[in-house]
């Protein structure tokens, strides 16, 4: 698993935004400034859709005020699903989305998790990273169902603690 001090890997992904999907590499998306990167098992899945993503949408202004340059959400879903989810959640234009359709980024980060028991295959483990200029500053991985350590409130607290 990626750890503090490691550079973000360079893996082909699709960046989903207002104008659609663009082919790019993960280090190009995550490599500049202070980035909050959070990963979810699946777009539109109950916990991701109701608990995880909405916290980042609701706290976008606070995160930016804390010095965050970019907020990025990733999932092992295709770009069409990620765009539909961004639109449906009101996050499009506020948060950037990475479609990691084949799970290459999840594997490269060591944040891949087998959800075959739920019929979902290999996905991202629910997690978040603080990344400064392409170097991981902090890693937050959920060890139980739900959103605690990788949610927006926990990330805000970590950012505040780092400033003090």
C-alpha closest to that of 77 among 47, 45, 54: 45
| The pLDDT of residue 50 | 80
Kindly list the catalytic residues: 48
Q: For 151-163, what is the mean pLDDT?
A: 94
Q: Can you list the domains of the chain with their CATH numbers?
A: 12-163 (3.40.30.10)
Q: For 113-130, what is the mean pLDDT?
A: 92
* 126: pLDDT strictly greater than 80: yes
- 146-155: per-residue pLDDT in tens? 999 999 999 9
The pTM assigned to this predicted structure is 0.95
Q: 162 pLDDT band (50/70/90 cuts)?
A: confident
* 123: pLDDT strictly greater than 80: yes
Say how far apart CA 48 and CA 128 lie, in whole Å: 13
Q: Mean pLDDT over all residues of the chain? A: 95
* 49: pLDDT strictly greater than 90: no
Say how far apart CA 133 and CA 32 lie, in whole Å: 4
| The pLDDT of residue 106 | 98
| The pLDDT of residue 107 | 98
C-alpha closest to that of 162 among 26, 66, 72, 84: 66
* 98: pLDDT strictly greater than 80: yes
| The pLDDT of residue 32 | 98
| The pLDDT of residue 7 | 98
Q: 92 near 127, Cβ under 8 Å?
A: no
* 90: pLDDT strictly greater than 90: yes
């Amino acid at each position: 698993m990626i750890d503090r001090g490691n550079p973000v890997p360079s893996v082909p992904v699709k960046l989903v935004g207002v104008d659609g999907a663009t082919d790019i590499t993960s280090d190009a998306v995550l490599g500049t400034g202070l980035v909050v990167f959070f990963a979810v098992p699946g777009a539109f899945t109950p916990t991701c859709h109701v608990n995880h993503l909405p916290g980042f949408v609701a706290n976008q202004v606070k995160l930016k005020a804390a010095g965050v340059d970019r907020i990025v959400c990733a999932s092992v879903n295709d770009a069409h699903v990620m765009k539909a989810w961004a639109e449906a959640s009101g996050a499009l234009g506020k948060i950037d989305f990475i479609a990691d359709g084949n799970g290459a980024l999840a594997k490269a980060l060591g944040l891949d998790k087998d959800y075959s028991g739920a019929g979902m295959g290999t996905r991202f483990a629910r997690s978040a990273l603080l990344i400064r200029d392409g170097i991981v500053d902090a890693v937050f991985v959920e060890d139980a169902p739900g959103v605690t350590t990788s949610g927006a409130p926990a990330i805000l607290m970590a950012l505040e603690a780092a400033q003090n």
